[in-house]
Amino acid sequence: MGEKHRVVILGGGFGGLNAAQKLKRAPVDVTLIDRRNFHLFQPLMYQVATGSLSPGEIAAPLRGVLSRQKNTQVLLGEAADIDPDAKRVILRDGAVFPYDSLIVATGSQTSYYGKEEWREWAPSLKSIEEATAIRHKILYAFECAERSATEQEARAWLTFVIVGAGATGMELAGALAEIANETLKNDFRRINPREARIILMEGGERVLNNFPEDLSSKAEMLVSRLGVDVKKGVMVTCIDADGVTYKSGQESKSLIAKTVLWAGGVTTNLFGRKLAERTKSETDRSGRIKVSPDLTVSGYPDIFIVGDLALSLGEDGKPLPGVAQVAIQGGAYAAKTIRARQKGKKDTKPFHYFNKGDMAVIGRAAAVANIFGFHLAGLFAWLTWLFVHLIYIVEFQSRVLVFVQWGFEYLTFSRGARLITGVAATDSLEKPGAFRDTGDGR
């Protein structure tokens, strides 16, 4: 055992898990280290946030997924530092892991563009805890509106702002519209949930700006049809307990809203910054580390970076986006390269990203997709989305359950996972800031 090539993988997301699985039959010792004990199916996180799915349904325990892979051990821990010359990773609790090859797949975290204080008022959708916090925030808002003393107060509780109109923002807006218009329509006596205002704010000139322009406009039309008010070209300047202040053109405006959700950008986490520092790597504006064509760090051919932390260029010369497909293929590539090197091959092909397509779901039977240049919108795009997502969910069990749940929900508009948990219910009335049970949001 001890003489085998030691591969340490940091992170059990799409990149890290796929790398581990691709090393199944390789004559190496694999150690997968993650802060959490589960792999998370991130693309469905918005469904947890909007009460369609339970956290357990989009997560698979890493040990379970890898239990039959005898050359691999899973450890719970958080990478804190690295000594790239001595080839050692140091965990936060001081444990040291030497490696022969290292695959860094630690991903990204939400960026508030330097305004960390906004996090308190506008949670993002990066961890399971944040997803449930968002769910609480949304459901509480309706509860508080029902108990409001004045119409003005109820109005503030029934105003929802989503900042950022990328895929996540569109998904949240669409699901929120469905909650207001369908799920809750009979549930209240004093308020009418259908009167909720949902505002989607985007700094750019169009929604889904990584999609072709025609799909952007189709998506905007689809989400507007659900009652979402799309504001483009606005710059958020402040988020606090009362709502959002933003600039539209030269004008500064305020919007009173008790619920603000953040679907903005991402940045690297602490370990990513440490790695860049220790290897003296070049990084981009959001902290991604520039990698060689074979996904290794310049000067350190034994350190691979895959997924959101890597800045690698596609064929068009543009950086590859931070999506699951890039991480999956990067993880598989790193594993393949390690196997090839084991066999004594010196020259390995550079990483080539094969884009299977981009999709964004907007609501019930509504999505847009760009697949091999075919632009789809509406029901067919949605069915494609549904199919692809069901296929990819890691564990068989989750797949069956999610399918049953979706089928039921599609027919009844009900949402099973409408729990408000965490802080005591009544503690939080009137205190949206109290939803900070997101210990590891960052």
Q: Which two tokens stand for residue 299?
A: 């000067």
In the bound state with a copy of itself, the residue whose beta carbon lies nearer, of 76 and 379, is 76
Q: Which residues from 147-166 bind a copy of itself, rule CB under 8 A?
A: 147
Q: Determine which residue in the list 189, 285, 343, 346 makes contact with a copy of itself, applying CB under 8 A.
A: 189
Question: What is the DSSP code string of 131-189?
Answer: HHHHHHHHHHHHHHHHT-SSHHHHHHHTEEEEE--SHHHHHHHHHHHHIIIIITTTT-S
Distance CA 51, CA 16 (A): 28
Task: Write each residue from 44 to 83 as x if it is in contact with a copy of itself (CB under 8 A), else as -, in one continuous string.
Answer: ---------xxxxx-x-x-xx--xx----xxxxxx-----
In the bound state with a copy of itself, the residue whose beta carbon lies nearer, of 221 and 417, is 417
408 interacts with a copy of itself by CB under 8 A = yes
Q: Which residues from 114-143 bind a copy of itself, rule CB under 8 A?
A: 128-129, 132, 139-140, 143
Min dist CB 180 to a copy of itself, Å, is 14
Distance CA 33, CA 213 (A): 41
Q: Give the length of the chain.
A: 442
Q: Which two tokens stand for residue 297?
A: 């760090």
Min dist CB 420 to a copy of itself, Å, is 5
Spatial strand order in the sheet of 259-262:
228-231, 197-201, 159-163, 259-262
Min dist CB 150 to a copy of itself, Å, is 14
- 186 closest CA partner among 142, 153, 147, 127: 142
Distance CA 289, CA 301 (A): 14
Coil, strand or helix: which one is 290? Answer: strand
Min dist CB 177 to a copy of itself, Å, is 19
24 interacts with a copy of itself by CB under 8 A = no
In the bound state with a copy of itself, the residue whose beta carbon lies nearer, of 56 and 212, is 56
Min dist CB 221 to a copy of itself, Å, is 31
In the bound state with a copy of itself, the residue whose beta carbon lies nearer, of 187 and 205, is 187
Distance CA 297, CA 278 (A): 11
210 interacts with a copy of itself by CB under 8 A = no
347 interacts with a copy of itself by CB under 8 A = no
Q: Determine which residue in the list 265, 322, 378, 416 makes contact with a copy of itself, applying CB under 8 A.
A: 416
Tell me the window of 32-40, 204-212, 273-281, 345-353 that interacts with a copy of itself (CB under 8 A).
Answer: 32-40
Distance CA 137, CA 160 (A): 10
Q: Which two tokens stand for residue 47?
A: 């469904």
In the bound state with a copy of itself, the residue whose beta carbon lies nearer, of 37 and 355, is 37
* Under 8 Å between Cβ of 102 and 296: no
241 interacts with a copy of itself by CB under 8 A = no
Q: Determine which residue in the list 352, 400, 410, 433 makes contact with a copy of itself, applying CB under 8 A.
A: 400
Q: What are the φ and ψ backbone dihedral angles of 331, each rounded to 5 degrees? A: -60, -45
Residue 13 is which amino acid? G
Respond yes or no: is residue 171 known to be catalytic.
yes
Q: Which two tokens stand for residue 268?
A: 């690297």
Catalytic residue among 57, 129, 130, 171: 171
In the bound state with a copy of itself, the residue whose beta carbon lies nearer, of 141 and 263, is 141
Q: Which residues contact 229 (CB under 8 A, 6 or more apart)?
A: 197, 198, 199, 200
CA angle in degrees (0–180, nearest 5) for 111-114-120:
70
- 394 closest CA partner among 126, 71, 61: 61
404 interacts with a copy of itself by CB under 8 A = yes
User: Cα 143 vs. chain centroid, distance in angstroms?
Assistant: 27
In the bound state with a copy of itself, the residue whose beta carbon lies nearer, of 211 and 271, is 271
35 interacts with a copy of itself by CB under 8 A = yes
Task: Write each residue from 90 to 109 as x if it is in contact with a copy of itself (CB under 8 A), else as -, in one continuous string.
Answer: -xxx-x--------------
Active site residues: 171
Site residues, a copy of itself (CB under 8 A) = 34-38, 53-57, 59, 61, 63-64, 67-68, 73-78, 91-93, 95, 128-129, 132, 139-140, 143, 146-147, 184, 186-190, 395, 397-398, 400-401, 404-405, 408, 412, 414, 416-427, 429-430, 437, 439-440
